[in-house]
């Protein structure tokens, strides 16, 4: 039996491979009533023989790391959708993957968890990507939580 090989759906995840740095805007929320700005850094690589994008993220405020995240993005052939498992220093159990698809140059994931609904939109243009994180109590009325613009530095 021949071993599976990554397909086109896996290869498009390579658009996010690299080291990315940028500025972030955090909107007022229960976790940060004032909001503010931060510096973000993402390191992304294809792993497990090209089947998954593995992402490590740090956010810095006031000169120190205040948040860390780790994501695994993949393709679910049965469900015909992208998946994103995200773990972070907040410590919440994701209880399952965010489900995503490509919309032009944007990879959009939505996730329902015990606190709210969340939507992550990664818009990629060459050596730049924009990230918009949104939250919603209902899954229909979205409010921005974080916006960031990142440039590939490595």
Tell me the pLDDT tens digit for each residue of 104-120. Answer: 899 999 998 877 899 99
CB 42 within 8 A of CB 20: yes
CA distance 70 to 110: 17
Place of tokens 């730049």: 128
**pTM of the full predicted structure?**
0.93
Over residues 25-72, the pLDDT tens digits come to 999 988 789 999 999 999 999 999 999 999 999 999 999 999 999 999
Domain spans of the chain? 8-152
- CATH number for the 8-152 domain, one of 3.10.180.10, 1.10.40.50, 3.40.50.2300, 2.40.128.20? 2.40.128.20
């Amino acid at each position: 039996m021949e071993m599976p090989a990554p397909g086109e759906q896996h290869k498009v995840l390579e658009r996010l491979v690299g080291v990315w740095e940028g500025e972030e805007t955090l909107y007022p929320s229960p976790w940060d009533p004032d909001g503010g700005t931060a510096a973000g850094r993402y390191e992304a690589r294809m792993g497990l023989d090209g089947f998954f994008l593995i992402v490590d993220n740090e956010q810095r405020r006031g000169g120190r790391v205040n948040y860390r995240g780790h994501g695994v993005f993949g393709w679910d052939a049965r469900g015909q959708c992208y998946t994103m498992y995200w773990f972070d220093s907040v410590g919440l159990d994701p209880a399952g993957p965010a489900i995503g698809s490509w919309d032009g140059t944007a990879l959009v994931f939505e996730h329902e968890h015990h606190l709210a609904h969340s939507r992550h939109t990664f818009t990629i243009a060459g050596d730049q990507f924009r990230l918009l994180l949104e939250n919603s109590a209902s899954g229909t009325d979205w409010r921005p939580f974080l916006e960031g613009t990142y440039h590939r530095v490595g």
